[in-house]
Structure 1
Amino acid sequence: MRLFGRLYARVLTWARHPRAVHYLCGLSFVEAFIFPVMPEVMLAPMMLGKRHRAFFYANISLLFSLGGSLVGYALGHWAFQALTPALDALHLLAPIEHGVEYLRGQMHLHWVGLMLVLFLAALQPVVPMKFVTWAAGIVGVPVLPFLLCILLGRGKRVWLLALLVRLFGERAELLLHKHVETIGWAVLALLLALVLWWFGLR
């Protein structure tokens, strides 16, 4: 919050703007591959202002997040290809390619585990969406399973927020702000435990 306080404040002002829905679409799109502020920052006050439209806001944010995820996926793929000569000149290409090939091999051997990792990464707020989308493009995760994981992971986040706002109003936002760090780290711990368990079976 300290590093991105101005951006956070700016996004909050967008939530009260007459063109807030347009800003929400843009924020949800660019956050998936570059912008550092999550769309939930806008979603919460917009949902609280019009609680009957909470799920509409959630769904439109999710739709544009999926579009942005495809951009991040493509950037991850093409940026890695474009940087190959520079990485080779720095003698970094060989170890990076070795790591990418290892991940691709693991993806083919343990694809269910990979899908679970992508789903949980999209679900929790600690790992930025940008890392997930770029990494998936670099490794070459199949596009349709990738989008499904993003849909379910990010969808659960925005749908849960909409449900809480519809049921509890302002208390829902206070609850999320109070416990977001605990929830995020708990999901990260669960993610690590599931990954270790899955690969430990092989």
Structure 2
Amino acid sequence: MKIFSALYDRVMTWSEHRHAVRYLSGMSFIESIFWPIPVDVMLAPMALSRPNKALRFAMLATIFSVLGAALGYALGQFFYEPLVEPLIKSVGYQHKMDVAFEWFEKWGVLVIFVASFTPVPYKVFTLTAGILNMAFIPFLLISLVGRGMRFYLVAGLMMWGGEKMEAQLRKYVEILGWLVVVLAVVAYLMLR
């Protein structure tokens, strides 16, 4: 069953849309607050389709992601009980918040760097940083470094790989897509 090839082609088409930069910026902003889809899903094809603008795309993703993180921090700090906590409970994220509290207790500000660079749900940690009243300027600086490293790495790899990487992705997209699905199911079962 081939579903990932069609999705791949659609994402590549979207990445060349005249408003793609706006979509990338908006997605980067909301992903740091609540959006479940990682920015890389849009950044990678945009960098592949326009390698001469890849670093600009990484810069925009970084800036808007950190701006979204600042809003997530503010929501956690000022609106946790009346707004955020009921929403977290209704979508079943309470366990993730509990893990975030534990990680903050264990690793302190380093957890912001880890969450901003890795696939760990960054949005949970932006809210938690606000809830725990983490110092705001270090929060922003660490977020800027972590998000910047991640997005520039993605853009750089796409620039470096270029057309050859795009051809290989297209060739193996079905295998890679199903592999990701299997890994996600295994990770879910292991963490449950």
Shared fold (TM-score greater than 0.5)? yes
Percentage of matched positions with identical amino acids: 41
- Give the aligned partner of residue 66 of structure 2: 66
After superposition, the Cα gap between the structure-2 partners of 1:61 and 1:101, relative to the gap in structure 1 and judged at 3 Å, is closer
Contact 1:164 1:172 in 2 (8 A): no
- Give the aligned partner of residue 52 of structure 1: 52
- Give the aligned partner of residue 128 of structure 1: 121
What stretches of structure 1 of length at least 5 have no aligned partner?
1-6, 87-99, 182-202
Name whichever of 15-24 and 73-82 sits farther off: 73-82
What stretches of structure 2 of length at least 5 have no aligned partner?
1-6, 87-99, 181-192
CA displacement 1:86-111 (0-9 Å, x = unmatched): 9xxxxxxxxxxxxx99998x5xxx8x
- Give the aligned partner of residue 92 of structure 1: none
Alpha-carbon distance between aligned partners in 2 of 1:25 and 1:150, rounded to the nearest angstrom: 16
Q: Return the match for 1:160 from 150, 153, 176.
A: 153
Q: Tell me which amino acid in the other structure corresponds to 1:21.
A: V
Alpha-carbon distance between aligned partners in 1 of 2:139 and 2:29, rounded to the nearest angstrom: 16
Deviation of the 1:8 alpha carbon: 9.6
Q: Tell me which amino acid in the other structure corresponds to 2:25.
A: C
- Give the aligned partner of residue 112 of structure 2: 118
Q: Tell me which amino acid in the other structure corresponds to 1:23.
A: Y
Q: Tell me which amino acid in the other structure corresponds to 1:17.
A: H
Q: Tell me which amino acid in the other structure corresponds to 1:48.
A: L
Give the structure-1-normalised TM-score: 0.64
Instruction: State the structure with more CA Rg.
Output: 1
- Give the aligned partner of residue 35 of structure 1: 35
Q: Return the match for 1:150 from 139, 143, 146.
A: 143
After superposition, the Cα gap between the structure-2 partners of 1:151 and 1:121, relative to the gap in structure 1 and judged at 3 Å, is same
Q: Tell me which amino acid in the other structure corresponds to 2:117.
A: L
Deviation of the 1:16 alpha carbon: 3.0
- Give the aligned partner of residue 80 of structure 1: 80
Deviation of the 1:120 alpha carbon: 1.0
Alpha-carbon distance between aligned partners in 2 of 1:55 and 1:62, rounded to the nearest angstrom: 10
Find the residue that maps to 1:169 and give its secondary structure.
helix
Deviation of the 1:79 alpha carbon: 2.5
What is the RMSD computed on CA atoms of the aligned residues? 3.5
After superposition, the Cα gap between the structure-2 partners of 1:43 and 1:136, relative to the gap in structure 1 and judged at 3 Å, is same
Deviation of the 1:83 alpha carbon: 6.1
Find the residue that maps to 1:136 and give its secondary structure.
helix
Deviation of the 1:82 alpha carbon: 2.6
CA displacement 1:45-99 (0-9 Å, x = unmatched): 1111110111000001110001100111111122224369x9xxxxxxxxxxxxx
Greater RCO structure (CA 8 Å; 6+ sep):
2
Find the residue that maps to 1:35 and give its secondary structure.
coil
